[in-house]
């Protein structure tokens, strides 16, 4: 079933079904965990609890009847994906029991260490994206924005860029996922710089043009360090 069909695109007798944002967030979380070689049992339990909460929301839509079919399909999709994730975790546990013991632990300890490092980098990247969003909203016509917000966002961008560079991009330059994260940071900075320049008039109307320009200069200065020569993992 396509995502468009799930949301009700194409229906003429009523407006398209708009799933609660929690549905998309949960499905993304399940997909991310399912891609791991060794999904976390702790996070799986958190996902199960979140799935129950989201499905309760969908049950309320089913009761209202107007979007009962779409909500039911969304709920079924969540159940199936949670079940598949649970089965993968169970299979890993059985493999641990059979092949197990110390050999199994030693085989996967490096993977777990690398995963922990990646998770920390992704947390910083999320903070980076949140700051990007603040600046993006300021560039949009009809939205609020303040010099204080831009200052705070600029500081957050410079901080996260610098921390990502020092703590991850230099030390783990040979890690593929860290490398992709660095590419995403560079791409987002470039896109934000273009956005600020293209919306100079909007920013000027809000009295934020000077603040946005000086902020982007600071961000671009921090971003230049991302082009420094790679160093091996330590």
94 CB-side CA count, 13 A: 6
Domain 112-227 architecture = Up-down Bundle (1.20)
Query: Among 34, 6, 32, 33, which Cα is nearest to 20's?
Result: 6
* 25 compared with 145, residue with greater pLDDT: 25
Average pLDDT over residues 14-28: 84
Q: Is a pLDDT exceeding 70 seen at residue 88?
A: yes
219 with 154: CB under 8 angstroms? yes
Q: Quick one: pLDDT at residue 202?
A: 92
Summarize pLDDT for 201-213 with one digit per residue, the tens. Answer: 999 999 999 999 9
Q: Which residue has the higher pLDDT, 130 or 4?
A: 130
Sequence-separated (6 or more) residues with CB below 8 Å from residue 40: 33
Q: Which residues of the chain are in CATH 1.20.120 domains?
A: 112-227
pTM higher than 0.85 for the full model?
no
Rounded-to-integer distance, Cα 183 and Cα 230, Å: 13
b (16+ CB within 10 A) / e for 104-132? eeeeeeeeeeebebbeebeebbeebeebb
Q: What is the pLDDT of residues 161-198, one digit of tens each?
A: 999 999 999 988 888 899 999 999 999 999 999 999 99
200 near 209, Cβ under 8 Å? yes
User: Dihedral sign, CA of 141, 144, 147, 153?
Assistant: negative
Q: Is residue 40 pLDDT above 60, yes or no?
A: yes
Give CA–CA dist 222/225, Å, rounded.
Answer: 6
**Confidence at 9, pLDDT banded by 50, 70, 90:** very low
Longest pairwise C-alpha distance within the chain: 67
Between 118 and 233, whose confidence is greater?
A: 118
d(CA 209, CA 145): 11
Q: What is the pLDDT of residues 41-85, one digit of tens each?
A: 888 899 999 999 998 888 888 888 878 888 889 999 999 999 999
| pLDDT tens digits, one per residue of 133-143 | 999 999 988 88
pLDDT of residue 1: 47
**Distance in angstroms (rounded) separating the CA atoms of residues 186 and 213:** 18
**Percent of the chain having pLDDT more than 70?**
84
Distance CA(43)–CA(108), nearest Å, equals: 18
pLDDT given for residue 145 in this prediction: 78
């Amino acid at each position: 079933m396509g995502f468009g069909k799930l949301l009700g695109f194409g229906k003429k007798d009523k407006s398209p079904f708009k799933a609660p944002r929690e549905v998309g967030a949960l499905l993304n979380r399940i997909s991310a965990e399912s891609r791991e070689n060794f999904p976390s049992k702790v996070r799986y339990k958190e996902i199960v609890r979140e799935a129950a909460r989201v499905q309760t929301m969908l049950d309320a839509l089913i009761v209202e009847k107007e979007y009962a079919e779409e909500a039911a399909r969304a709920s079924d999709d969540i159940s199936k994906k949670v079940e598949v994730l649970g089965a993968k975790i169970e299979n890993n546990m059985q493999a641990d029991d059979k092949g197990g013991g110390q050999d199994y632990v030693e085989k996967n300890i490096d993977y777990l260490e690398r995963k922990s490092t990646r998770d920390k980098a992704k947390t910083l990247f999320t903070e980076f994206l949140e700051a990007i969003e603040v600046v993006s909203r300021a560039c949009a016509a009809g939205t609020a924005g303040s010099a204080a917000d831009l200052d705070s966002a600029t500081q957050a961008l410079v901080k996260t860029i610098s921390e990502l560079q020092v703590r991850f991009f230099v030390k783990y330059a040979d890690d593929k996922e860290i490398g992709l994260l660095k590419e995403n940071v560079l791409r987002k900075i470039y896109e934000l710089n273009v956005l600020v320049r293209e919306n100079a008039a909007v920013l000027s109307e809000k009295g934020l043009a000077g603040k946005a320009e000086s902020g982007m200069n600071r961000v671009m200065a921090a971003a230049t360090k991302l082009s420094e020569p790679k160093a091996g993992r330590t």
